Chain A
Amino acid sequence: MQNTWLFIGIFIAIAGVFPLLPIVIARFLAPHKPNPIKLETYECGMETVGDTWVQFKVQYYIYALVFLVFDIEIAFLFPWAVAFDALPFFAVLEGVIFILILAGGLLYAWKKGALEWS
């Protein structure tokens, strides 16, 4: 079984080399004339005001939160889907209950207005 993963391991290495190649080639071909104005942070020609660390909306975090919960749900359900042939009907229903409980979480977030942007 690990032989099938060996391919992935080598693939990661090669897939990293392929995009590295043009960057290295460009280093030799491209001009390199930095000056302070060129190296400034781009802000439509104006000088940057304040820090980049502006405060972000909590809303971004809440979407990531709901995503995380559903991600775990997927991890639980994929083996259930693979074993489907061997499962009796009530085992299928257990999976359905699992989905419904988490759908309840989505419904709660919806009713509380947590999914609203603004």
Chain B
Amino acid sequence: MSFFQDPVSAISALISNFLYTLLPQAWAHLIMTLLGVVVVASFGLIIVIFLIWVERKIAARFQDRVGPNRAGPYGLLQTFADMVKLLTKEDVIPEKADRLAFNIAPILSVVAVLLIWAVIPFAPGWIGTDLNVGVLYIAAVGSFGILSILMAGWSSNNKYALLGAFRAVAQLISYEVPMLITLMVPVLLARGMGMMDMVRDQAVWFIVLAPVSAIIFLVSSIAEIGRTPFDLLEAESEIVAGYHTEYTGMKFGLFFAAEFLHAFTIGVLFAILFLGGWRGPGAEEFPLLGVIYLMLKASVGYFIVMWVRSTLPRIRIDQMLALNWKFLTPLSLALLILTAIVEKTFEGNAWRVPALLIGNVIVLIVSYYIMRAASRRTSKERVTFKKRPVAKPA
């Protein structure tokens, strides 16, 4: 394999050769792992700096504005300016706060998101570590994010913060249910939880085999990151700023960065689980192309998240919970059962792909009719007023 085909592997081979001749094997292995960790983790953090600029630019376009355009060309350096601002702001810890939990919570929120990147396959052979429980690991790591929110809200000793944390946790754990159930559909299709196998098994992208599951995953992910229309956790008209009301300076910045990174991570996960990850023409020979494919596919998911965000208004809390428990959860359970039965019936059969597709369409149609019947029933209960004559200008 030449240097131009796969520069990263070539460089890492060079470094590891050097280390293994210099140090005992265990130490060399440890240092190589450490280097890998630093590379993967800083990739995640560097991308967030760029992402904040991208998101602000695109959000501005949606709202017919220009967006940041002062700091650097096209406002590219805006994020650095913001970072300098946050670093020089006073860090206020309220007197009544529980200092230990108050300080750990923002760090934990970043760690929870960053840990997902350890199992992201960037290209053939480029992966932090290919755990055999990859998908479940991602779900498990998410629970630290929930914990950090609860810690932040409780330790602030502020009514708004605690109420915001309670709401946030109620939303996150609710939407975790359909998300976990839909995560099982790609696992079932790939017969494994390893992230690399997941990508390798997608000769047919899973979005073709399970389109409805892909949509459920995206919707529940938007709820998990708390973007509009699911931004009840920071509904500023009701609970000030939610769980991070009392945070200032860099600690607030960390919550903010974690949220942006999480949004893009969702795009990456969507690309890996449903859009074939790094797959694409020439990716096996030139791994660098695979990274580009992955990032392009991730941008699709990320753009949809932003699009939804700037289009839809915030929904009410009862609507948010009803959507989850009465629509997404039963639908994802039905899809899981459907996928399991169809996969077993048409195992090793050419009819597998069309059967799965037709099954998805049938589930979609049936749920549409159930929803329509249900909405008819509720519209009868709705209070309606008599039509009144419109006042005419004299």
Contact = CB atoms under 8 A, between A and B. Distances in A.
Interface of A: 1, 3-8, 10-12, 14-16, 18-20, 22-23, 25-27, 29-34, 36, 38-44, 48, 52, 54, 56, 59-60, 63-64, 66-67, 70-71, 74, 77-78, 81-82, 84-85, 87, 89, 92, 95-96, 99-100, 103, 106, 109-110, 115-118
B322 A115 contact: yes
A3 B128 CA distance: 12
B219 interface: no
B279 interface: no
A43 B118 contact: no
Contacts of A106: 325, 329-330, 333
Given A4-B130, A30-B90, A11 B41 contact: yes
B130 A84 contact: no
Interface in B77-125: 83, 86-96, 103, 106-107, 110-111, 114-115, 118
What DSSP secondary structure best describes chain A's contact surface?
helix
Contact of B174 (A1, A4, A67): A67
Contacts of B110: 15, 18-19
B249 A26 contact: yes
A31 to B, nearest CB: 5
Contacts, number: 212
Contacts of B23: none
Given A40-B94, A52-B162, A66 B177 contact: yes
B34 A10 contact: yes
A12 B144 CA distance: 12
B40 interface: yes
B173 A7 contact: no
A43 B246 CA distance: 10
Contact of B254 (A5, A19, A70, A92): A19
B191 A84 contact: yes
B107 A70 contact: no
Contact of B40 (A11, A84, A87): A11
Chain B: number of interface residues, binned into ranges? 35 or more
Contact of A67 (B136, B139, B173): B173
Given A16-B107, A30-B90, A42-B158, A82 B187 contact: yes
6 contacts: A5-B131, A29-B87, A30-B250, A39-B94, A60-B170, A84-B340
Contacts of A14: 34, 37-38, 41
B177 A70 contact: yes
Interface in B316-331: 317-318, 321-322, 325-326, 329-330
Contacts of A39: 92-95
B251 interface: yes
B340 A96 contact: yes
Nearest to A102: B333
A12 B211 CA distance: 34
B347 to A, nearest CB: 8
Contact of B111 (A16, A34, A52): A16
